[in-house]
Amino acid sequence: FGKANYSFKNKYLFAASLRADGSSKFGTENQWGYFPSASVAWRVIVENFMQKLPAFSDLKLRLSYGEAGNNRIANYAALGIFNSGSYPLNNQTNITAFQNNLPNPFLKWEATKSTNIGLDLGFFKQRISLTTELYENKSKDLLYNTRVPASSGFKKQFQNIGATSNRGLEFTLNRINVKNDNFIWNTTFNIAFNKTKVLALSEGETSLITKSLT
């Protein structure tokens, strides 16, 4: 993990990072994933022209992009696991072993790319503050135990398939109603509008029915 930060006149802010994550859950070909991120911010509140607007106590614009990995699958899912069994022969019980799943040495990290545009507003020495977030998250190479041709001898195999999109708009309004040495009363209001869409599934699939437990 590496990270760098830079500030110019406490007005323009820059940050960047790079993660290198390794997991033995994946095939030998793709155990490592590399996930960069970067962000910039403009603190408009420190500009000279903002001095003529005393009601503002904060005004900042933000833009960020980042990637994150997911390895939440069972241990050894990329490997061929053998189970033990038995069968009778000549009045004896014979022990055997059989392969339980289809290995995938090319299984790799699921990746989510996130883009965010933010606006921070503050009024009257932060007695009132508003944060607005516009975001989009796109996931690809989803880790999914998908169906495979019966000719393989198995029904399913863990693969990197499909893609999803999640985008939305969120507002958070905070107000300090009372603040003194003995008592603080805050009010926070939050509302979000979100839309999730499945962009792609495994080859030949146009829909997927799942069961949920309640």
Q: What is the pLDDT along the chain (214 residues), one digit of tens a residue?
A: 999 999 999 999 999 999 999 999 987 778 999 999 999 999 999 999 998 999 999 999 999 999 999 999 888 888 888 888 888 888 888 898 888 888 888 999 999 999 999 999 999 999 999 999 999 999 999 998 888 888 888 888 898 988 999 999 999 999 999 988 889 999 999 999 999 999 888 776 766 666 655 5
Q: CA of 83: how far to CAs of 25, 95, 96, 209, in Å?
A: 19, 11, 9, 29
pTM exceeds 0.85 for this model: no
Q: How many Å apart are CA 104 and CA 107, to the nearest integer?
A: 6
Q: How many Å apart are CA 107 and CA 150, to the nearest integer?
A: 20
Asked whether the beta carbons of 34 and 104 are under 8 A apart, the reply is no
Q: How many Å apart are CA 2 and CA 19, to the nearest integer?
A: 7
